[in-house]
Structure 1
């Protein structure tokens, strides 16, 4: 499973670790629940500018950065998402507290106790997310037996409000966005713990990979697009910002380290299948080969309850090869933890991919003949049992008739 030890013909450019970690720190400082992403879009665009990568931004804020190659087609894309989970005000209660609903899919048990910011129409207010029964001195054992759901938490706003009207007077409205504090910690030993490593850690890794390629001065074989999406956590993700020349797309996202999974917090994961189905055979195996060639620590895995930007791109009607690579992390959509090793491995694999040849030159055009089409298993490699071979008699024409087609 670990990469082979033979040296590659050409070494990869060095990843600027300080740049990667600085990018992650700054990204974490910018709240970006789905729908509140303008600030993080502006930051990422400025980061691309500093690297020297031209970019375009869609109406809503998805970014498409361009690293030119010798050839325009078949172009490839690497995508990471800027949006995170969050919440929204659902009801202003007569008690002076707020009922909320989640933005994206996550459990209220990881919201309990979280400090947060409410973004009102004209300002910001601070608060805490608490269970409905939060004081053991008042409720005794009921604190431990109350259900865990979004209907059983509320937000206590840090203003003197004991009625709905007082909260309204403070500027709170139904539909206000809520961002939870990430509580980022970067330990000396390399562990990184925070909310929203999904997917800001991958964004930082992709930016670092782009910087390494640009700084190296090496020419890419084909155009590579660095895409940064803003709605992955609600399912639409990379349905925007693609164009017809893109034939391959690799999503960079969180990978799930948990019992029953093969992922490691210290390696890059190459996912073979998620909830939306298998990823492209040839592109996925190309990434496996690149990891082996360049000595990148990697794992192969399959995720049952997971979808990414790749699914959104295909479901939007794009006929492209897709793959998923991720930084190994524990407790996804909760208090996530990864290690610097995983982020460096992810950045190095992204770098290797950008510098490699495309899967198939035939992919320059969306339609073509069989010539140049990819091949997974050749007939001479298929070891079928004799009982699986067709009976030649079925291909013989009956007397006076034509052979079956």
Structure 2
């Protein structure tokens, strides 16, 4: 069986639109409006929580039990900490990332006045080899050792105040996306805008193919994953399975690939659900989708806050391979298509344990053990025949 065909042009164009819309954690309104437009174009209703999470549902044959796929629209960024006497800005990171990879970045500085913004560049304090010589190579790395040069005629803190710049203003690292002839996408913030694009492409494929869903599929777009507050709400106890979509780390010692769908077996919070991860791997293998298994040591995703907030469900992570994550990132369109294919197949498949997972709890004798991993589970009983 083959997955429903993915519209690669749609995936690529959607990704580029998302990358060109800045969205550091805490300032995600513009990108959520854009995502909402895409969801509306797919013919789906949606709602937004007080904190800005967006939720839509693909209706299935049953709504008393369902699954969720979660992506995040927020990215790493910076915030103005101090207006310096030399007319430059001291910043602190929003989200976890090193100043090493911010050096040289072009940035956009957002003011409280929504109609005003400025551009700039992140520079080390010793930015001129003609002035500092070899000291340029020996200075340390850290946020106190970089500053933002604002592209305006400013030489003092008073000049910055006159521009309207204040402590607490958001600074976005410009994505600067590029698509190479070989199909690579180079850009900041592929984490997790590539995941959003892949999910939207999967939903488009499912709807275009007219494939039915056995259960409701809730799609959740979060806005605080990079600061540890992703999928903290927006889902209820009818959700039996949750799949987060995020970057998979390409680096020495890792197995993830930019040309495959990658399944995380464990991250810094611990192992993912035994049965659901293996169900995803089996679905990929059955549908001819290249798949890799990997473990991420310094990593957490939207799955962690969902479980920590009390959501009683199985959780797994599907990743698109990213080289130099939270830095000068690169992935490949082929891998994004593979992730979209796996998501499309997953959305149209049955729950891993369709009988036991009807409710948040059941009897011990019915609880699936590690030796029970159904290749094709029994059909769901209709709601009236369900018993605890």
Shared fold, TM over 0.5: yes
Identify which of 124, 138, 143 aligns with 1:145.
138
Post-superposition CA distance 1:7-63 (Å, at most 9, x none): x3xx32111111101110100110000011001111111100101111111112111
Query: How far, CA to CA, are the matches of 1:218 and 1:371 in structure 2?
Result: 35
CA RMSD for the aligned pairs? Answer: 1.0
362-371 or 317-326, which deviates more: 362-371
Find 2:161's aligned residue among 155, 168, 174: 168
Task: Give the 3-state SS of the residue equivalent to 2:155 in structure 1.
Answer: coil
TM-score when normalising by structure 1: 0.90
**How many residues of Structure 1 are paired with residues of Structure 2 in the alignment?**
369
Check conservation: 2:20, 2:176, Cα contact below 8 A.
no
**Residue equivalent to 1:89:** 80
Task: Give distance in 1, aligned partners of 2:220 and 2:201.
Answer: 14
Q: What is the SS of the residue equivalent to 1:256?
A: strand
CA distance in 1, matches of 2:183, 2:298: 28
Q: Contact (CA 8 Å) 1:194, 1:335: kept in 2 or not?
A: yes
Give the alignment partner of residue 100 of structure 2, picking from 106, 109, 121. 109
1:362 aligned partner: 356
The Cα of 1:372 is off from its aligned counterpart by 3.6
Contact 1:74 1:358 in 2 (8 A): no
Show CA shifts across 1:210-267 (max 9, x none): 1111111111000001111000000010012111211110000000011101111111
Q: 2:204 maps to which residue?
A: 211
Secondary structure of 1:273 counterpart? strand
SS in 1 for 2:131: helix
Q: Distance in 1 between matches of 2:362 and 2:332?
A: 44
Runs of 4+ in 1 over 3 A off after TM superposition: none
The alignment status of 1:250 with 2:243, answered yes or no, reads yes
State the TM-score, normalizing by the size of structure 2.
Answer: 0.94
Question: What is the CA distance between 1:73 and its match in structure 2?
Answer: 3.2
- Give the Cα separation in 1 of the matches to 2:233 and 2:7: 30
Q: Could you tell me whether the CA contact under 8 Å between 1:70 and 1:222 is conserved in 2?
A: yes
Aligned residue in 1 for 2:4: 13
The answer to whether the Cα contact below 8 Å between 2:3 and 2:342 also exists between their aligned partners in 1 is no
Partner of 2:263: 270
Q: Does 1:189 align with 2:182?
A: yes
Deviation, 1:295, is 0.3
Q: For the structure 1 residues 227 and 173, does the alpha-carbon distance in structure 2 shift closer, same or farther, using more than 3 Å as the test?
A: same
Query: How far, CA to CA, are the matches of 1:297 and 1:329 in structure 2?
Result: 16
- What is the CA–CA distance in structure 1 between the aligned matches of 2:366 and 2:342, rounded to whole Å? 26
**Aligned counterpart for 1:332 among listed residues 322, 325, 335:** 325
- Structure 1 residue aligned with 2:367: 373
- Choose which of 56, 60, 77 in structure 1 pairs with 2:47: 56
Residue 385 (structure 1) aligns with: none
Gaps of 5+ in 2: 373-388
1:313, distance to aligned residue in structure 2 (A): 0.4
Q: Distance in 2 between matches of 1:73 and 1:307?
A: 29
Equivalent residue for 1:43, pick from 28, 34, 44? 34
| Aligned 1:61-76 pairs, distance under 5 A | 61-76=52-67
- The answer to whether residue 112 in structure 2 is matched with residue 121 in structure 1 is yes
1:158 is matched with 151
TM-superposed CA distance for 1:371, in Å, is 5.1
Find out whether 1:28 has 2:22 as its counterpart: no
Q: Partner of 2:364: helix, strand, or coil? A: coil
Q: Give, in whole Å, the separation in 2 of the partners of 1:269 and 1:12.
A: 17
Check whether the contact 1:275–1:304 (CA below 8 A) recurs between aligned residues: yes
For residue 164 of structure 1, report the CA deviation from its aligned partner.
0.6
Partner SS for 2:298? coil
Distance 2:62 2:170 in 1: 44
Decide which structure has the larger Cα Rg and report it: 1
